[in-house]
Amino acid sequence: MRITFIPCWCVQAWKNRAESAVPLALSRFLAEHPEVQNIVLRLDNDAPGRLAAAGLQEILASQYQVHLAPPMEGKDYNDFLCIRLGLPPPQCNRSELHRKGGEAR
């Protein structure tokens, strides 16, 4: 089993990695699913997102294979999707995604 998404709102970036902690939802999930061996972190592609991803990778690396997968373009995966659909990220919304055939959550 592989975790492929961790909501960015549940990850807190700390300036000092020593203060970092695994979010409660992720800790609980991992405790309930001991079969998990790989974790893919798809956090925001900005300084706080990269810092949080690096902190989580450092904490979790002793027990799991942790891979960082920020979006290839844009600040987050919403921006990346909008770019892929040819929509300017600030104007991208659910109705535009629906018209273009994409999915919105």
What strands lie across the sheet with 65-68, from one edge to the other?
Answer: 2-3, 38-41, 65-68
Instruction: Render pLDDT for 45-100 as a digit per residue (tens, 0 to 9).
Output: 988 888 888 889 999 999 999 999 999 988 888 889 888 999 876 655 555 545 55
Instruction: Render pLDDT for 7-29 as a digit per residue (tens, 0 to 9).
Output: 544 555 555 555 667 888 889 99
Does residue 98 sit in helix, strand or coil?
A: helix
pTM of the model: 0.66
DSSP for 38-88, please give it: EEEE---SSHHHHHHHHHHHHHHTTTSEEEE---SSSSSHHHHHHHHTT--
